[in-house]
Amino acid sequence: MQLEIQNLEVHYGRVRVLHGASLTLGDKPLAVVGRNGMGKTTFCHGIMGLASVTAGTITLDGLPLHGLAPHRVAAHGVALVPQGRRLFQSLTVDEHLKLAHRGKGSWNRERIYDTFPRLAERRQNLGAELSGGEQQMVAIARALLSNPRLIIMDEPTEGLAPVMVEQVVKVLQKLVQEGNALLLVEQNLGVALAVADEVAVMLNGVFERRVTADVLRRDPELQQRLLGVATQG
């Protein structure tokens, strides 16, 4: 799997949010980090066809994705776990999974329930009855059930209690170990470093720097300079 993004520009009205962002991603997990308002979610939306790309190219294994409608991007094997989870509050867990399952592959409801035992316990509960962590599990499961070639996760640990953050990290690490291609957009630097092999830092709509997770993990000064934060260690 090879995702290539070159000189991507996205506008909301007259406001340009992405200023020529370029990024390549193979089978190894990559995290995108940056301060709030730098364009990370817009970058995800640009890939998925949820935002208007005004310049630049997006290709997946040489196939152009820019300009395609979101459902066509998804049909080519790209799945988004959106920021804020966005579940149907009136549907049960099991109904969410039934709606999401498509495509041939190893992910089905049985495997989801094996991977997320808590969802198996809550399968008849409505979206409105789930905790934030449980909702995030459903959102991740919904993406996996499309049997994608690439999973994009936008802030999967946002708003979760520390114990739930740990559970989500374990799930992401397992997905990576199983060979799933992952683009992780994450405000929590500790989560990004725990999951990804490399980290791309976004600043004002472009990628300022790309470093290995090991280099960034061992350099609190670099963390502070690029992100204004430092992990505890």
Domains of the chain, residue spans: 3-227
Pairing of strands 30-33, 198-203: parallel
Euclidean distance between CA atoms 210 and 199, whole angstroms: 6
Looking only at Cα atoms, what is the longest distance across the chain? Answer: 48
pLDDT the model gives residue 103: 67
Helix axes 132-144, 162-177, angle to 10 degrees: 20
Residue 45: C-alpha distances to residues 60, 188, 217 (Å): 15, 20, 28
**CA separation for the pair 144, 51 (Å, rounded):** 23
Extended beta strands in the chain, E state: 3-12, 15-25, 30-33, 53-60, 63-64, 78-81, 150-154, 181-185, 198-203, 206-212
CATH class for the domain made up of 3-227: alpha beta
pLDDT by position in tens, the chain (length 233): 999 999 999 988 888 999 999 999 999 999 999 988 899 999 999 999 999 899 999 999 999 999 999 999 999 999 999 998 889 999 999 999 999 988 678 899 999 999 999 999 999 999 999 999 999 999 999 999 999 999 999 999 999 999 999 999 999 999 999 989 999 999 899 999 999 999 999 999 999 999 999 999 999 888 888 787 666 54
3-state secondary structure of 153: strand
pLDDT at 229: 67
Phi, psi of 25 (to 5 degrees): -145, 130
pTM: 0.92
